[in-house]
C-alpha cells in the first residue's frame, strides 16, 4: 500500500532515548580516541561545580529549583496523561499518586499547586500504541500446499467508526479494518511465504485520541497471488492424477484410514474452493481485537486468533508486544533533559525518600512502595525507555547511593546481572555506553577502597561478612561482563588489584594501630608494654583473617587474604620487635624479662599460624626465639623459684588429712594436689617456649627436668618433717592415719612423675635431637634424672608400707597358731576357730582400704597374702605325725579359703592370678589331699588317671580297641574287646602271649564285680580277640566321679607272674548310655544307646611320682588302702617308665 507508513524496527524504537527520537536533535557522538587504563586515564567528572563553602540552605534551595522541580513536573505530566493499567496488583488514584510525589519530593502545598498549574497549561502529548508483531504459530493453511502466506493488518478504531462501518454494510463481511478506516491509518506487515509459524518482529506506532472507546484491531490474512484459471485447472488435474495412483495400487477409498480420508477430503475442498475464488482474493486467517482501556501500560502476551464465524474455531496464536507511549511530549518541563536522565533522578529521589521513611537499621534491599513503582513504570513506558535503559538507570542510581546510604550489595548484583543479559540482546547508544563505563569504573575504584578498609567496614560478625562477600562478587561480575571488557579494554586483573588493596589496607591499619599504642615515655617497661598491646592487636587481626575474612576472599575472588596479610604483618611486626629488643640488650633483669614473656608467647601464637599459609616463603619472624636468649634463664629461674615457694607454703598448711570432695573421696592431702598444680606450669612452660634449636632445646629440657626432680625431693623432705611435727602430739591411731595419707601423697606424686615423659614429649624431643645428641647421652641424662627422683619416692613409700605391714603380719601369725589346734576332736568348730582371724583381717583391711589409695592398698595386700600363705604352709608341715592330721588339714583348708575370699573381696581386692601363686597352689593341693579319707583319695587318683589318659598322645606301648555301651533297660555294661595292636615283645623270642584284663574301679564302689579276662593269644603282637563281656552295675554307680574301666594288657607267663604290657583308663561317664539323666528319670527309660568304638593308647605309670599314692601309703593302719597301694606299686615296678628313668 502506498499510503502505509514505513515500519519501525523493534530494536531502534526500544533503544532510542527521548532526546534522539521523533526528529529531536541528536547529541554529537564522539568515539573514544585512545585506550583507557582503569584508574589512570578515567577521570572523575562533576556535572556542576558548586562552591563547597556555599550556605547549606542556599544549596538545598538551588537543588530543589534546578533538580527536583523539573522532575516533579515530569511526574505530574505523567500522571495527567497516563494510559493503561500498571502491572502491580494495587491500583492508585491520581490523588494518591499526587500525595506520594509531594511527600517524596518534599513539596509544600503552594509549590504543588503552582507546579500543577504549569503542567495543566502545557501541550498534551500525542497518544500512541507501540505494537510489535513478534510471531504467530499454528495458523490455518489456506493454500493447496497446506501452508499460507500470512501478513497482518493493524489499526486502532474508535466506537463511532466501527459502528458506522457495521451499519453501512449490506451483509456481514470478514474484513473490518479495510472497511472501517482510511488506508493511511492501516498498517501492514511483511508477507511470510509458505509457513504456518511466521516470524515478523516488526514494530508499528499507532496514534489515537482517546483511550476510552478505542480498540486495537489486528487481522491476519493469507496473501493470494493472481493466477489464471488455466493454471488452477492444471493444479486440479495434477491432484486428480495423484488420486488415480492410489487406485492403480488397488487401494480403494474404503481402505484408507481415517486420517488419510480427512486429508484427501480437505485437499479436494481446497481445490474446489480455490477454483471458485476470484482472482487475487486474500483468505482471512483470524483476528485479535483488544479494548485499549483493558490493556496494561505495557504487555507482552500470546493472543488467540479469533474467527468471524465458527468454521475454524482453532486458528492459532499471535505473539504481540503492546506499549502505550507519548509522542511530541512537552520538552519545557525539565529544560530539555533526556527522559533517561530524568528517570535516573526520579528513581534516586524515590529511593532516598523510601529509606528515610523506613528508618531501619538494615540495608535497603531494593524494595519501593507501590506508588513509586507505578510512577516509574508509567514514566518509562510513556517515554519508551527500554528495559536495558531502565536497568542501566537503576545500576547508576543504586551504585551512587551505595556510597552514601545503606544499600544492600545484592541489589547491585541483581542489576549488574540484568545489564549483562541485555548487553547480549541490544545495543546501547554511545552516550549511555560512556555513562555505563564511567559507572563501572567508579564503582570498581570505590569497591577496592572498601576492600582496603574491610577491617572497619566489614567487621568479623555474621551480619557484616556476607556484605563483603556480595561486594566482592559484584567486583568479579563487573570484570566478567562484556560491557566492562568492551568499555575498558585495558588489561585489568581483579585478583592483583584486590591483593594490592589488602596489602595497602594492612599497611595503613598497622600504622594506625601502632600510633594508638605509642609509649608515653621512653622507659623500657613502657616501651615493652606498648609492644605487647600492638602484638595483641595483630594477633587478634590474624585470627579474624584466618577464621572469617579469608574464607570470604577465597570464595569470592580466589585471593588468599590470610597469606597476604600474614606476610605483610610478619615483616612489619618483625621490624618493631627487633627495634624494641635492641633497646633492652645488655640491660636485662628479672622484672624486664618477666615483661618480655607475654611478648614471646604472643609471637609464638602468631608464628604457629604460618601452618595455614598456602604459599610458603621466608618469613622475617622465623627463629624469632633467638632474640630472647638473654631473657630465657630469667624465665626458668622465675618458674623454679615460684614453684618451690608454692610447694613449701602448701606443705606448711597441710594437716595431712584426706580430702573428701564430691562423690569420690580423695585419699591424699591438700599438699599433693597443690604440688601437681605447681608442677603443671613448668610443663606448660616447655610447650610455650617450643624452642626451635634442637641442641638448645635438649639443654632446656635437662634444666626443666632437674628443677622438677629438685622440687619432688624437697617435697619429700619437708613432708616427712611435717608428719613428724604433727605426730609428736597425736595418739597412735592418728599417727598411723597420717602415715597412710603421706604414703598416698607420695604415691600420687610418683604417678605424676611417671606421666612426665609423656607430658614433656620426650619422644618428640629425641626425634628432633637424634642428629646432634647421641642416644646414650640422651638416656643417661633425662631418664636417669627422673629415675633418681622416682627411687626416692619408692624408697619412702616402701619404708612406710613396711611399717604398716609388720604389725599386720605379726597379728595374723598369732591368730593362725591359736586357732589351728591339732586335736583329733577339736574343741571348737572350724567356723568358730577361724572367726577371730577373719574379724581382725576385715577390720584392718577395711581401715587400710579407706585410708590408702588403691595402688598402695594393693601394694600392702600382696605381701600380706604371701606371708599368710607361708604361715599356713609352715603350720601345716611342721608336725608330720598322722594322728588327727585329716581334721587338722580340713581346718587349715577352710582357713585358706576364707583368706582367699577376704583378700579377693569379690573382685575389689587382689586379682585371682595374684592370689593363685605357686605357693598357694602347692598349699591348697597339700591341704585338699590331707583333708580327704582314703576312699575319696582313691577316687581322686582314678580321676587323675582318666585325665592323664585323655591328654596322653602316641601309642608308645600299643593300643587296644573296644566297643562299649550301657543298657539302662537291664543295667548292663557291655564291653567288646576287638583287638590290640603294636604291643611290646615281652618274650625272648621277640613276641608275646597277650590277653586283656577288664576291671571296674574303684573297688569300694564295685566290690562284687569280678575282673574279666580274654583268651590268651600266643605269639601275637597284634592280637584279635572279638570277645564280649557284660557287667551288671547300676547307673548311679557308673555316674559316680572317678569310676572307670581299667583295661590291662598282660603277657602270659607260665608258672610266673604275668608281664605288664600296658594299661588304659576309660571313664564310665564316657560310655554311651551312662551320661544324662539319673536312674528313674524320664531319660533313663528311653531306648538304649548305640555302642561306640574307641581306641585307647596303653600307658605305663611313672613310679613314685603320684602324691596321692604316697599319701595313701602313709596311712598304715587301713588294710583296704594298703592293698590298693600295694597293687599300684606292683604296677610301677613292672612299668617300662621305671627302666627309662
Confidence of residue 226 (pLDDT cuts 50, 70, 90): low
DSSP code string of 587-600: ---HHHHHHHHHHH
What angle, rounded to 10 degrees, do the helices at 94-104 and 69-80 form?
A: 170
112-124 pLDDT, tens digit each: 999 899 988 888 9
Q: Are 444 and 478 in contact (CB under 8 A)?
A: yes
The runs of H, that is alpha helices, within 653-693 are: 670-689
pLDDT of 450 over the 80 cut: yes
Q: Which residues, including other chains, have CB under 8 Å from residue 261's CB and lie 6 or more apart?
A: 253
pLDDT of residue 1055: 80
Q: What is the DSSP-derived secondary structure letter of residue 364? A: B
CA distance linking residue 381 with residue 325, whole number of Å: 6
pLDDT of 232 over the 60 cut: no
What cell numbers appear for 581 in the block? Answer: 629488643
CA distance linking residue 769 with residue 810, whole number of Å: 54
- Please give the share of the chain, as a percent, with pLDDT higher than 70: 85
Q: Mean pLDDT, to the nearest integer, of 1045-1065?
A: 91
Q: Are 142 and 283 in contact (CB under 8 A)?
A: yes
The pTM for the full model equals 0.58
pLDDT of residue 40: 37
pLDDT of residue 133: 94
66-77 pLDDT, tens digit each: 888 899 888 999
Q: Which of 5-9, 486-490, 959-963 has the lowest mean pLDDT?
A: 5-9
CA distance linking residue 407 with residue 365, whole number of Å: 6
pLDDT of residue 165: 53
Contacts 24+ apart (CB under 8 A), 304-309: 305/136, 305/139, 305/220, 308/172, 308/174, 308/284
Measuring CA to CA, how many Å separate 764 from each of 679, 704, 753, 780? 21, 16, 18, 17
**3-state DSSP: the chain helix, strand, coil percent, rounded to 5?**
55, 10, 30
pLDDT of residue 726: 85
Q: Angle at CA 931, nearest 5°, toward 925 and 936?
A: 95
Q: Angle at CA 364, nearest 5°, toward 362 and 365?
A: 110
Confidence of residue 19 (pLDDT cuts 50, 70, 90): very low
Q: Are 621 and 603 in contact (CB under 8 A)?
A: yes
What cell numbers appear for 660 in the block? Answer: 573428701
CA distance linking residue 744 with residue 739, whole number of Å: 9
What cell numbers appear for 967 in the block? Answer: 543298657
Q: Which of 66, 69, 59 is nearest to 114 (CA)?
A: 69
Q: Mean pLDDT, to the nearest integer, of 979-998?
A: 91
pLDDT of residue 29: 35
pLDDT of 627 over the 80 cut: yes
CA distance linking residue 42 with residue 38, whole number of Å: 6
Q: Element (H or E) spanning 199, and its range?
A: strand 199-208
pLDDT of residue 8: 36
Q: Which residues, including other chains, have CB under 8 Å from residue 297's CB and lie 6 or more apart?
A: 82, 83, 84, 85, 86, 87, 323, 324, 377, 378, 381, 382
Residues, the chain, total?
1141
Q: Which of 598, 670, 669 is nearest to 631 (CA)?
A: 598
pLDDT of residue 1: 39
241-290 pLDDT, tens digit each: 655 554 544 444 444 455 555 555 555 555 555 555 555 688 888 999 99
State which of 41-55, 1071-1085, 1103-1117 shows the largest mean pLDDT: 1103-1117
pLDDT of residue 507: 93
* Region of 691 on the Ramachandran plot (φ > 0 left; ψ -120 to 50 alpha; else beta): beta
Q: Are 475 and 445 in contact (CB under 8 A)?
A: no
Q: Are 883 and 824 in contact (CB under 8 A)?
A: yes
Confidence of residue 238 (pLDDT cuts 50, 70, 90): low
Taking residue 723's Cβ as centre, other Cβ atoms within 10 Å add up to 19
pLDDT of residue 330: 83
pLDDT of 5 over the 70 cut: no
pLDDT of 216 over the 80 cut: yes
Q: Which of 347-351, 563-567, 1104-1108 has the lowest mean pLDDT?
A: 1104-1108
pLDDT of 12 over the 90 cut: no
Going edge to edge, which strands form the sheet with 283-291? 187-188, 150-158, 214-222, 283-291
CA distance linking residue 786 with residue 769, whole number of Å: 19
pLDDT of 548 over the 80 cut: yes
Q: Which residues, including other chains, have CB under 8 Å from residue 595's CB and lie 6 or more apart?
A: 525, 528, 529, 532
What cell numbers appear for 337 in the block? Answer: 533533559
Q: Are 872 and 830 in contact (CB under 8 A)?
A: no
Going edge to edge, which strands form the sheet with 1024-1032? 1024-1032, 972-981, 959-967, 1092-1097
Q: How many CA atoms lie within 13 A of 454 on its CB side?
A: 33
Q: Which of 390, 398, 321, 346 is nearest to 367 (CA)?
A: 398
361-378 pLDDT, tens digit each: 788 888 888 889 899 989
Query: How distant is the alpha carbon of residue 405 from its chain centre?
Result: 40
CA distance linking residue 398 with residue 733, whole number of Å: 89
Q: Which of 832, 862, 835, 857 is nearest to 846 (CA)?
A: 857
pLDDT of residue 154: 92
pLDDT of 1121 over the 50 cut: yes
CA distance linking residue 215 with residue 229, whole number of Å: 40
Taking residue 829's Cβ as centre, other Cβ atoms within 10 Å add up to 11
Confidence of residue 678 (pLDDT cuts 50, 70, 90): confident
Q: Mean pLDDT, to the nearest integer, of 577-581?
A: 88
The runs of H, that is alpha helices, within 517-626 are: 524-544, 550-557, 561-584, 590-608
Taking residue 40's Cβ as centre, other Cβ atoms within 10 Å add up to 8
Confidence of residue 724 (pLDDT cuts 50, 70, 90): confident
CA distance linking residue 1128 with residue 1102, whole number of Å: 11
Q: Are 569 and 510 in contact (CB under 8 A)?
A: yes
Q: Which of 16-20, 783-787, 792-796, 867-871 has the lowest mean pLDDT?
A: 16-20
Q: Are 538 and 476 in contact (CB under 8 A)?
A: no
396-430 pLDDT, tens digit each: 888 888 877 778 878 888 888 888 888 887 788 88
pLDDT of residue 312: 64
Which carries the bigger pLDDT value, residue 274 or residue 606?
Answer: 606
What cell numbers appear for 662 in the block? Answer: 564430691
- Name the average pLDDT for the chain: 81
CA distance linking residue 816 with residue 821, whole number of Å: 9
161-187 pLDDT, tens digit each: 555 555 555 444 555 566 667 788 899
Q: Which residues, including other chains, have CB under 8 Å from residue 89's CB and lie 6 or more apart?
A: none
pLDDT of residue 27: 33
Q: How many CA atoms lie within 13 A of 483 on its CB side?
A: 30
Cis preceding linkage at 1002, omega within 30 = yes
CA distance linking residue 81 with residue 324, whole number of Å: 11
Task: Report strand pairing: 959-967 vs 972-981.
Answer: antiparallel
CA distance linking residue 682 with residue 646, whole number of Å: 13
pLDDT of residue 31: 33
Q: Mean pLDDT, to the nearest integer, of 714-720?
A: 88
Any bridge partners for residue 203, and if so which?
A: 8, 132
Which carries the bigger pLDDT value, residue 823 or residue 348?
Answer: 348
What phi, psi does 150 have (nearest 5°)? -80, 150
CA distance linking residue 564 with residue 504, whole number of Å: 10
Q: Are 124 and 81 in contact (CB under 8 A)?
A: yes
What cell numbers appear for 195 in the block? Answer: 509457513
Q: Mean pLDDT, to the nearest integer, of 571-577?
A: 90
CA distance linking residue 209 with residue 366, whole number of Å: 37
Taking residue 572's Cβ as centre, other Cβ atoms within 10 Å add up to 19
pLDDT of residue 777: 87
What cell numbers appear for 418 in the block? Answer: 540484568
pLDDT of residue 178: 65
Measuring CA to CA, how many Å separate 1040 from each of 144, 1000, 1070? 118, 12, 12
Chain position carrying cell 528517570? 343
CA distance linking residue 1135 with residue 1129, whole number of Å: 10
Taking residue 250's Cβ as centre, other Cβ atoms within 10 Å add up to 7
Q: Mean pLDDT, to the nearest integer, of 95-115?
A: 90
Amino acid at each position: 500500500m502506498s499510503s502505509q507508513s514505513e515500519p519501525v524496527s523493534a530494536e531502534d524504537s526500544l533503544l532510542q532515548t527521548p532526546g534522539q527520537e521523533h526528529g529531536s536533535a541528536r547529541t554529537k557522538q564522539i568515539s573514544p580516541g585512545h585506550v583507557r587504563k582503569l584508574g589512570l586515564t578515567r577521570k572523575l567528572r562533576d556535572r556542576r561545580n558548586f562552591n563547597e563553602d556555599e550556605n547549606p540552605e542556599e544549596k538545598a534551595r538551588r537543588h530543589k529549583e534546578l533538580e527536583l522541580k523539573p522532575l516533579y513536573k515530569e511526574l505530574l505530566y505523567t500522571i495527567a496523561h497516563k494510559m493503561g493499567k500498571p502491572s502491580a496488583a494495587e491500583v492508585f488514584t491520581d490523588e494518591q499518586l499526587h500525595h506520594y510525589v509531594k511527600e517524596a519530593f518534599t513539596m509544600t502545598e503552594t509549590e504543588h499547586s503552582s507546579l500543577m498549574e504549569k503542567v495543566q497549561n502545557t501541550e498534551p502529548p500525542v497518544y500512541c500504541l507501540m505494537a510489535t508483531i513478534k510471531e504467530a504459530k499454528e495458523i490455518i493453511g489456506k493454500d493447496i500446499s497446506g501452508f499460507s502466506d500470512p501478513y497482518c493488518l493493524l489499526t486502532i478504531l474508535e466506537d463511532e467508526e466501527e459502528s458506522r462501518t457495521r451499519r453501512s454494510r449490506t451483509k456481514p463481511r470478514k474484513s473490518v479494518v479495510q472497511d472501517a478506516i482510511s488506508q493511511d491509518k492501516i498498517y501492514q506487515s511483511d508477507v511470510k511465504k509458505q509457513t504456518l509459524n511466521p516470524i515478523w518482529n516488526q514494530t508499528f506506532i499507532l496514534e489515537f485520541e482517546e483511550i476510552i472507546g478505542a480498540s486495537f484491531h489486528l487481522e491476519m490474512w493469507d496473501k493470494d497471488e493472481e493466477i489464471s484459471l488455466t493454471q488452477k485447472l492444471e493444479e486440479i488435474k495434477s491432484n486428480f492424477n495423484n488420486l488415480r495412483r492410489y487406485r492403480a495400487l488397488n487401494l480403494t477409498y474404503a481402505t484408507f484410514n481415517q486420517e488419510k480420508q480427512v486429508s484427501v477430503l480437505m485437499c479436494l475442498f481446497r481445490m474446489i474452493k480455490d477454483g471458485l475464488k476470484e482472482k487475487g482474493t486474500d483468505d482471512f486467517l483470524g483476528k485479535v481485537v483488544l479494548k485499549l482501556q483493558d490493556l496494561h501500560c505495557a504487555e507482552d502476551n500470546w493472543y488467540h486468533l479469533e474467527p468471524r464465524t465458527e468454521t475454524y474455531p482453532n486458528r492459532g496464536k499471535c505473539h504481540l508486544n503492546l506499549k502505550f507511549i507519548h509522542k511530541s511530549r512537552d520538552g519545557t518541563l525539565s529544560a530539555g533533559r533526556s527522559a533517561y536522565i530524568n528517570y535516573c533522578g526520579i528513581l534516586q529521589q524515590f529511593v532516598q525518600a523510601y529509606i528515610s521513611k523506613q528508618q531501619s537499621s538494615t540495608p535497603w534491599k531494593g524494595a519501593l512502595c507501590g506508588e513509586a513503582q507505578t510512577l516509574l513504570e508509567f514514566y518509562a513506558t510513556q517515554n519508551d525507555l527500554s528495559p536495558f535503559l531502565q536497568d542501566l538507570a537503576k545500576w547508576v542510581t543504586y551504585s551512587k547511593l551505595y556510597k552514601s546510604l545503606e544499600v544492600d550489595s545484592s541489589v547491585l548484583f541483581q542489576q549488574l546481572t540484568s545489564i549483562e543479559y541485555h548487553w547480549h540482546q541490544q545495543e546501547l547508544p554511545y552516550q549511555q555506553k560512556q555513562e555505563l563505563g564511567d559507572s563501572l569504573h567508579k564503582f570498581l575504584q570505590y569497591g577496592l577502597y572498601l576492600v582496603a578498609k574491610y577491617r572497619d567496614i566489614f567487621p568479623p560478625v555474621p551480619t557484616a561478612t556476607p556484605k563483603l562477600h556480595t561486594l566482592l562478587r559484584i567486583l568479579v561480575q563487573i570484570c566478567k561482563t562484556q560491557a566492562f571488557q568492551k568499555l575498558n579494554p585495558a588489561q585489568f586483573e581483579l585478583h592483583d588489584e584486590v591483593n594490592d588493596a589488602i596489602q595497602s589496607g594492612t599497611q595503613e591499619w598497622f600504622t594506625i594501630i601502632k600510633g594508638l599504642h605509642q609509649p608515653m615515655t621512653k622507659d623500657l617497661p613502657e616501651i615493652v608494654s606498648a609492644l605487647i598491646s600492638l602484638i595483641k592487636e595483630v594477633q587478634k587481626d590474624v585470627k579474624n583473617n584466618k577464621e572469617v575474612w579469608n574464607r570470604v576472599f577465597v570464595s569470592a575472588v580466589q585471593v588468599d587474604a590470610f597469606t597476604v596479610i600474614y606476610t605483610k604483618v610478619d615483616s612489619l611486626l618483625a621490624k618493631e620487635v627487633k627495634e624494641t629488643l635492641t633497646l633492652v640488650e645488655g640491660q636485662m633483669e628479672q622484672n624486664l624479662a618477666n615483661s618480655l614473656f607475654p611478648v614471646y608467647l604472643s609471637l609464638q601464637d602468631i608464628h604457629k599460624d604460618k601452618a595455614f599459609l598456602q604459599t610458603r616463603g621466608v618469613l622475617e619472624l622465623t627463629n624469632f626465639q633467638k632474640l630472647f636468649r638473654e631473657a630465657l634463664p630469667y624465665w626458668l629461674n622465675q618458674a623454679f623459684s615460684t614453684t618451690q615457694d608454692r610447694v613449701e607454703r602448701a606443705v606448711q598448711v597441710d594437716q595431712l588429712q584426706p580430702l573428701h570432695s564430691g562423690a569420690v573421696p580423695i585419699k591424699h592431702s591438700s599438699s599433693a594436689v597443690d604440688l601437681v598444680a605447681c608442677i603443671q606450669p613448668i610443663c606448660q612452660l616447655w610447650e610455650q617456649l617450643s624452642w626451635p634449636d634442637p641442641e638448645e632445646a635438649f639443654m632446656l629440657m635437662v634444666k626443666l627436668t632437674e628443677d622438677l626432680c629438685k622440687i619432688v625431693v624437697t617435697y619429700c623432705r619437708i613432708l616427712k618433717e611435717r608428719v613428724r611435727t604433727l605426730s609428736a602430739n597425736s595418739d597412735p591411731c592418728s599417727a598411723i592415719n597420717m602415715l597412710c595419707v603421706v604414703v598416698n601423697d607420695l604415691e600420687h606424686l610418683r604417678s605424676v612423675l611417671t606421666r612426665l615423659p609423656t607430658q614433656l614429649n620426650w619422644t618428640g624431643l629425641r626425634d628432633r635431637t637424634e642428629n646432634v645428641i647421641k642416644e646414650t647421652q640422651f638416656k643417661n641424662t633425662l631418664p636417669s634424672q627422673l629415675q633418681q627422683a622416682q627411687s626416692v619416692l619408692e624408697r619412702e613409700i616402701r619404708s612406710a608400707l613396711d611399717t604398716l605391714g609388720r604389725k599386720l603380719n605379726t597379728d595374723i601369725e598369732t591368730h593362725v597358731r591359736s586357732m589351728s589346734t591339732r586335736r583329733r576332736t577339736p574343741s571348737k568348730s572350724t567356723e568358730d576357730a577361724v572367726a577371730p582371724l577373719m574379724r581382725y583381717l576385715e577390720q584392718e583391711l577395711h581401715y587400710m582400704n579407706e585410708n590408702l589409695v588403691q595402688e598402695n592398698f594393693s601394694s600392702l595386700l600382696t605381701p600380706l597374702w604371701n606371708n599368710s600363705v607361708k604361715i599356713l604352709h609352715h603350720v601345716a608341715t611342721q608336725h608330720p605325725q598322722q594322728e588327727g592330721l585329716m581334721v587338722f588339714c580340713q581346718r587349715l583348708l577352710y582357713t585358706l579359703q576364707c583368706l582367699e575370699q577376704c583378700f579377693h573381696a569379690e573382685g575389689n581386692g587382689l586379682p585371682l592370678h595374684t592370689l593363685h601363686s605357686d605357693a598357694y597352689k602347692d598349699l591348697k593341693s597339700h591341704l585338699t589331699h590331707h583333708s580327704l579319707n582314703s576312699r575319696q583319695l582313691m577316687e581322686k587318683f582314678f580321676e587323675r588317671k582318666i585325665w592323664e589318659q585323655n591328654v596322653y598322645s602316641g601309642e608308645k606301648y600299643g593300643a587296644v580297641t573296644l566297643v562299649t555301651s550301657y543298657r539302662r533297660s537291664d543295667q548292663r555294661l557291655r564291653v567288646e574287646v576287638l583287638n590290640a595292636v603294636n604291643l611290646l615283645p615281652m618274650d625272648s623270642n621277640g613276641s608275646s602271649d597277650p590277653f586283656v584284663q577288664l576291671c571296674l574301679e574303684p573297688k569300694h564302689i564295685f566290690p562284687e564285680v569280678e575282673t574279666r579276662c580274654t583268651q590268651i593269644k600266643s605269639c601275637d603282637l597284634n592280637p584279635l580277640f572279638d570277645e564280649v563281656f557284660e557287667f551288671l552295675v547300676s547307673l548311679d554307680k557308673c555316674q559316680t566321679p572317678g569310676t572307670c574301666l581299667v583295661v590291662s594288657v598282660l603277657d602270659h607267663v607260665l608258672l610266673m607272674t604275668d608281664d605288664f604290657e600296658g594299661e588304659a583308663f576309660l571313664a564310665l561317664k564316657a560310655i554311651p548310655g551312662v551320661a544324662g539323666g539319673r536312674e528313674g528319670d524320664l531319660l533313663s527309660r528311653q531306648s538304649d544307646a548305640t555302642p561306640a568304638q574307641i581306641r585307647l593308647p596303653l600307658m605305663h605309670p611313672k613310679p613314685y611320682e603320684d602324691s596321692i599314692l604316697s599319701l595313701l601309703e602313709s596311712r598304715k593302719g587301713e588294710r583296704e588302702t594298703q592293698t590298693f597301694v600295694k597293687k599300684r606299686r606292683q604296677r610301677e615296678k613292672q612299668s617300662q617308665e621305671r627302666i627309662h628313668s
